[in-house]
A = this chain, B = another copy of it.
Amino acid sequence: MTTTGRILIVDDEPKICSFIGRALGAASYQSDSARDGAEALDAVTRNRYDLVILDLVMPGADGRQVLRDLLAIRPGQQVMVLSCVADITTKVELLDLGAQDYLTKPFSLEELIARVKARLRPEPARGVPEVIRANGIVLDAAHLIADAGSGPVSLSRLEFMLLSELVVHAGRAVSKDSLLASVWGYRQSDPGSNILDACVRRLRAKLGFELIKTVRGKGYQLITR
Protein backbone atom coordinates (compact mmCIF):
# COMPACT_ATOMS: atom_id res chain seq x y z
CA MET A 1 0.00 0.00 0.00
CA THR A 2 1.33 3.44 -0.83
CA THR A 3 1.09 5.64 2.20
CA THR A 4 1.93 8.72 0.14
CA GLY A 5 1.70 11.31 2.83
CA ARG A 6 3.21 14.61 1.91
CA ILE A 7 5.21 16.34 4.61
CA LEU A 8 6.95 19.69 4.88
CA ILE A 9 9.97 19.91 7.16
CA VAL A 10 10.80 23.40 8.39
CA ASP A 11 14.21 23.74 9.99
CA ASP A 12 17.08 26.16 9.59
CA GLU A 13 19.60 23.34 9.78
CA PRO A 14 19.81 21.70 6.35
CA LYS A 15 21.38 18.69 8.01
CA ILE A 16 18.38 18.11 10.20
CA CYS A 17 16.03 18.58 7.28
CA SER A 18 17.76 15.98 5.21
CA PHE A 19 18.17 13.70 8.21
CA ILE A 20 14.46 13.71 8.92
CA GLY A 21 13.64 13.74 5.25
CA ARG A 22 15.58 10.56 4.63
CA ALA A 23 13.94 8.81 7.55
CA LEU A 24 10.51 9.84 6.28
CA GLY A 25 11.45 8.69 2.81
CA ALA A 26 12.35 5.30 4.21
CA ALA A 27 8.90 5.16 5.74
CA SER A 28 7.58 5.97 2.25
CA TYR A 29 6.53 9.52 2.89
CA GLN A 30 7.26 12.28 0.46
CA SER A 31 8.86 15.36 1.98
CA ASP A 32 9.84 18.90 1.09
CA SER A 33 11.93 21.16 3.24
CA ALA A 34 11.98 24.84 4.04
CA ARG A 35 14.80 26.76 5.73
CA ASP A 36 12.87 29.52 7.38
CA GLY A 37 9.44 30.88 8.03
CA ALA A 38 9.16 32.70 4.74
CA GLU A 39 10.05 29.61 2.72
CA ALA A 40 7.66 27.57 4.80
CA LEU A 41 4.76 29.94 4.23
CA ASP A 42 5.58 30.00 0.57
CA ALA A 43 5.59 26.23 0.34
CA VAL A 44 2.38 25.92 2.29
CA THR A 45 0.66 28.45 0.09
CA ARG A 46 1.78 26.68 -3.04
CA ASN A 47 1.14 23.09 -1.95
CA ARG A 48 -1.06 21.10 0.30
CA TYR A 49 0.73 19.08 2.97
CA ASP A 50 -0.64 16.33 5.13
CA LEU A 51 1.73 17.41 7.87
CA VAL A 52 4.18 20.18 8.64
CA ILE A 53 7.07 19.48 10.97
CA LEU A 54 8.12 22.83 12.34
CA ASP A 55 11.27 23.61 14.25
CA LEU A 56 10.45 26.33 16.69
CA VAL A 57 13.79 28.02 16.79
CA MET A 58 14.59 29.64 13.52
CA PRO A 59 16.44 32.73 12.47
CA GLY A 60 14.51 35.62 11.07
CA ALA A 61 11.18 34.81 12.56
CA ASP A 62 9.59 33.72 15.75
CA GLY A 63 8.37 30.17 15.42
CA ARG A 64 5.10 31.13 17.05
CA GLN A 65 4.42 33.70 14.39
CA VAL A 66 5.27 31.25 11.66
CA LEU A 67 2.78 28.84 13.14
CA ARG A 68 0.12 31.55 13.29
CA ASP A 69 0.71 32.66 9.72
CA LEU A 70 0.79 29.11 8.52
CA LEU A 71 -2.53 28.31 10.16
CA ALA A 72 -3.98 31.51 8.76
CA ILE A 73 -3.12 30.28 5.29
CA ARG A 74 -4.22 26.70 5.92
CA PRO A 75 -6.68 26.51 8.78
CA GLY A 76 -6.62 23.09 10.36
CA GLN A 77 -3.21 22.23 8.90
CA GLN A 78 -1.61 19.43 10.88
CA VAL A 79 1.55 20.77 12.49
CA MET A 80 4.07 19.00 14.69
CA VAL A 81 6.40 21.29 16.56
CA LEU A 82 10.00 20.41 17.37
CA SER A 83 11.77 22.45 19.98
CA CYS A 84 14.58 22.41 22.47
CA VAL A 85 12.35 24.28 24.88
CA ALA A 86 10.96 21.77 27.33
CA ASP A 87 9.05 24.41 29.23
CA ILE A 88 5.44 23.45 29.89
CA THR A 89 4.15 26.95 29.29
CA THR A 90 5.63 27.02 25.82
CA LYS A 91 4.25 23.59 25.02
CA VAL A 92 0.76 24.55 26.12
CA GLU A 93 0.97 27.82 24.25
CA LEU A 94 1.96 26.20 20.99
CA LEU A 95 -0.62 23.44 21.30
CA ASP A 96 -3.30 26.01 22.05
CA LEU A 97 -2.15 28.02 19.09
CA GLY A 98 -3.02 25.13 16.84
CA ALA A 99 -0.11 22.71 16.80
CA GLN A 100 -1.15 19.08 17.14
CA ASP A 101 2.00 17.70 18.71
CA TYR A 102 5.14 18.94 20.41
CA LEU A 103 8.37 17.04 20.56
CA THR A 104 11.26 18.17 22.73
CA LYS A 105 14.79 17.96 21.42
CA PRO A 106 16.75 15.87 21.62
CA PHE A 107 14.20 13.37 20.42
CA SER A 108 14.61 9.94 19.02
CA LEU A 109 14.13 9.68 15.30
CA GLU A 110 12.16 6.48 15.83
CA GLU A 111 9.70 8.29 18.04
CA LEU A 112 9.31 11.10 15.53
CA ILE A 113 8.57 8.67 12.75
CA ALA A 114 6.20 6.70 14.95
CA ARG A 115 4.33 9.89 15.79
CA VAL A 116 4.18 10.91 12.15
CA LYS A 117 2.83 7.50 11.25
CA ALA A 118 0.27 7.66 14.04
CA ARG A 119 -0.83 11.06 12.82
CA LEU A 120 -1.07 10.19 9.14
CA ARG A 121 -2.45 6.75 9.68
CA PRO A 122 -5.37 6.22 7.35
CA GLU A 123 -8.20 6.04 9.80
CA PRO A 124 -10.43 3.05 9.28
CA ALA A 125 -13.12 4.57 11.44
CA ARG A 126 -13.02 7.66 9.30
CA GLY A 127 -14.31 5.41 6.56
CA VAL A 128 -17.72 6.28 7.84
CA PRO A 129 -17.47 9.71 9.31
CA GLU A 130 -19.37 9.69 12.51
CA VAL A 131 -20.46 13.22 12.56
CA ILE A 132 -20.22 16.17 10.28
CA ARG A 133 -20.09 19.50 11.98
CA ALA A 134 -21.03 22.49 9.95
CA ASN A 135 -22.50 25.75 10.95
CA GLY A 136 -23.35 24.70 14.46
CA ILE A 137 -25.24 21.73 13.16
CA VAL A 138 -24.15 18.20 13.83
CA LEU A 139 -25.14 15.65 11.24
CA ASP A 140 -24.61 12.03 12.12
CA ALA A 141 -24.88 10.32 8.80
CA ALA A 142 -24.38 6.86 10.19
CA HIS A 143 -27.37 7.23 12.46
CA LEU A 144 -29.47 9.72 10.54
CA ILE A 145 -29.46 12.04 13.48
CA ALA A 146 -29.18 15.79 13.46
CA ASP A 147 -28.51 18.21 16.25
CA ALA A 148 -29.07 21.88 15.69
CA GLY A 149 -28.35 22.81 19.26
CA SER A 150 -31.39 21.53 21.05
CA GLY A 151 -30.53 17.89 21.37
CA PRO A 152 -30.21 15.09 18.84
CA VAL A 153 -33.20 14.44 16.65
CA SER A 154 -33.82 11.42 14.51
CA LEU A 155 -34.62 12.32 10.93
CA SER A 156 -36.32 10.47 8.16
CA ARG A 157 -34.65 9.70 4.87
CA LEU A 158 -35.91 12.72 2.97
CA GLU A 159 -35.52 15.06 5.88
CA PHE A 160 -31.90 14.05 6.25
CA MET A 161 -31.17 14.38 2.54
CA LEU A 162 -32.79 17.79 2.39
CA LEU A 163 -30.92 19.03 5.43
CA SER A 164 -27.63 17.69 4.05
CA GLU A 165 -28.20 19.59 0.86
CA LEU A 166 -28.93 22.77 2.75
CA VAL A 167 -25.88 22.30 4.97
CA VAL A 168 -23.63 21.91 1.96
CA HIS A 169 -24.80 25.29 0.72
CA ALA A 170 -25.13 26.80 4.19
CA GLY A 171 -25.63 30.53 4.19
CA ARG A 172 -26.74 30.62 0.59
CA ALA A 173 -30.26 30.35 -0.69
CA VAL A 174 -30.83 27.12 -2.55
CA SER A 175 -33.52 27.20 -5.21
CA LYS A 176 -36.48 24.89 -4.98
CA ASP A 177 -35.69 23.45 -8.38
CA SER A 178 -32.19 22.65 -7.27
CA LEU A 179 -33.42 20.98 -4.10
CA LEU A 180 -36.09 19.04 -5.95
CA ALA A 181 -33.41 17.89 -8.35
CA SER A 182 -30.82 16.83 -5.82
CA VAL A 183 -33.10 15.37 -3.18
CA TRP A 184 -36.04 14.07 -5.16
CA GLY A 185 -34.30 13.59 -8.48
CA TYR A 186 -36.79 15.64 -10.43
CA ARG A 187 -35.70 17.08 -13.74
CA GLN A 188 -38.14 19.93 -14.03
CA SER A 189 -39.71 21.71 -11.17
CA ASP A 190 -42.79 19.73 -10.35
CA PRO A 191 -45.68 22.09 -10.96
CA GLY A 192 -48.61 21.02 -8.86
CA SER A 193 -46.83 19.81 -5.76
CA ASN A 194 -45.42 21.18 -2.58
CA ILE A 195 -43.53 18.13 -1.37
CA LEU A 196 -40.52 20.31 -0.73
CA ASP A 197 -42.46 22.82 1.33
CA ALA A 198 -43.98 20.02 3.31
CA CYS A 199 -40.60 18.47 3.99
CA VAL A 200 -39.16 21.82 5.04
CA ARG A 201 -42.07 22.16 7.39
CA ARG A 202 -41.32 18.81 9.02
CA LEU A 203 -37.66 19.68 9.35
CA ARG A 204 -38.50 22.96 11.00
CA ALA A 205 -40.91 21.29 13.34
CA LYS A 206 -38.14 18.93 14.43
CA LEU A 207 -35.16 21.26 14.54
CA GLY A 208 -36.66 24.62 15.30
CA PHE A 209 -38.19 27.26 13.12
CA GLU A 210 -35.22 29.63 13.01
CA LEU A 211 -32.88 27.18 11.33
CA ILE A 212 -34.19 27.28 7.79
CA LYS A 213 -35.00 30.66 6.38
CA THR A 214 -37.17 31.02 3.34
CA VAL A 215 -35.95 33.47 0.75
CA ARG A 216 -39.05 34.46 -1.08
CA GLY A 217 -38.82 33.58 -4.75
CA LYS A 218 -35.29 32.22 -4.34
CA GLY A 219 -35.67 29.11 -2.24
CA TYR A 220 -34.57 28.05 1.20
CA GLN A 221 -31.43 28.89 3.10
CA LEU A 222 -29.70 27.54 6.16
CA ILE A 223 -28.89 30.34 8.54
CA THR A 224 -25.22 30.94 9.24
CA ARG A 225 -23.88 31.43 12.70
Show the binding face of A for B, using Cβ within 8 Å: 1, 48, 74-77, 88, 91-92, 95-96, 98-101, 108, 110-111, 113-115, 117-119, 121-130, 132-136, 139, 141-144, 156-157, 160-161, 164-165, 167-168, 170
Residue A118 contacts which of B95, B133, B160, B170 (CB distance < 8 angstroms)? Answer: B95
- Residues from chain B with a CB closer than 8 A to the CB of A99 are 118
- Please tell me if the beta carbons of A114 and B127 are within 8 angstroms of each other in the complex: no
In the complex, the count of this chain's copies comes to 2
CA distance A100 to B124 in the complex (A): 14
- Residues from chain B with a CB closer than 8 A to the CB of A124 are 75-76, 134, 168, 170
Residue A144 contacts which of B119, B143, B157, B168 (CB distance < 8 angstroms)? Answer: B157
* A96-B117 contact in complex given A111-B91, A141-B141, A164-B142, C-beta closer than 8 Å: yes
CB distance from A28 to the nearest CB of B (A): 15
CB distance from A26 to the nearest CB of B (A): 14
CB distance from A158 to the nearest CB of B (A): 9
- Please tell me if the beta carbons of A142 and B114 are within 8 angstroms of each other in the complex: no
CA distance A136 to B74 in the complex (A): 26
For residue A94, which residue of chain B has the nearest CB? B114
